[in-house]
A and B are shown apart, each in its own frame.
Chain A
Amino acid sequence: MKKLIGRKVGMTQLFDEKGNVTGVTVIEAGPNYVTQIKTMAKEGYDAIQLGFGEVQAKKLSRGELGHLGNLAPNTKYPKRKELAGVPPVKHLYENRIKAVDGMKAGDVVKADIFKAGEFVDISGTSKGRGFAGNIKRHGFHRQKKTHGASDRERAPGSIGAGTGIGHVEKGTRMAGHFGDEARTSVRLKVMMVDVERNLIAVAGSVPGANGGVVVIKEAKKA
Chain B
Amino acid sequence: MNLVESLEKSLIKNDKIPQLSSGDTVRVHQRIVEGDKERIQVFQGTIIRLRRGGANANFTVRRIATNNVGVERTYLLFSPRIERVEVLRHAKVRRAQLYYFRDLQGKSARLKERRVDAKPAAKAAIA
Q: Which A residue's beta carbon lies closest to that of B3?
A: A9
How long is the Cα–Cα vector from A183 to B7 in the complex, in angstroms?
27
Chain A, 181-222, CB within 8 A of any chain B CB: 194, 197, 199, 201
Across-interface contacts of B31 in A (CB, < 8 A): 19
Across-interface contacts of B81 in A (CB, < 8 A): 18-19
Across-interface contacts of B78 in A (CB, < 8 A): 15
Over the window 11-40 of chain A, the binary record of Cβ atoms lying under 8 Å from chain B Cβ atoms (1 yes, 0 no) is 111110111010000101000000000000
Contact status A10-B80, CB under 8 Å = no
How long is the Cα–Cα vector from A192 to B80 in the complex, in angstroms?
17
How long is the Cα–Cα vector from A199 to B2 in the complex, in angstroms?
12
Q: Which B residue's beta carbon lies closest to that of A197?
A: B3
A199-B3 contact given A19-B31, A19-B80, CB 8 Å threshold? yes
Across-interface contacts of A17 in B (CB, < 8 A): 80
Across-interface contacts of B2 in A (CB, < 8 A): 9-10
How long is the Cα–Cα vector from A107 to B76 in the complex, in angstroms?
43
B56 at the interface (CB under 8 A from A): yes
**Smallest beta-carbon distance A206→chain B, Å:** 13
A12-B8 contact given A19-B31, A26-B3, A199-B3, CB 8 Å threshold? yes
Binding site for A on B (CB under 8 A): 2-4, 6-8, 11, 31, 33, 54-56, 76, 78-81
Binding site for B on A (CB under 8 A): 9-15, 17-19, 21, 26, 28, 194, 197, 199, 201
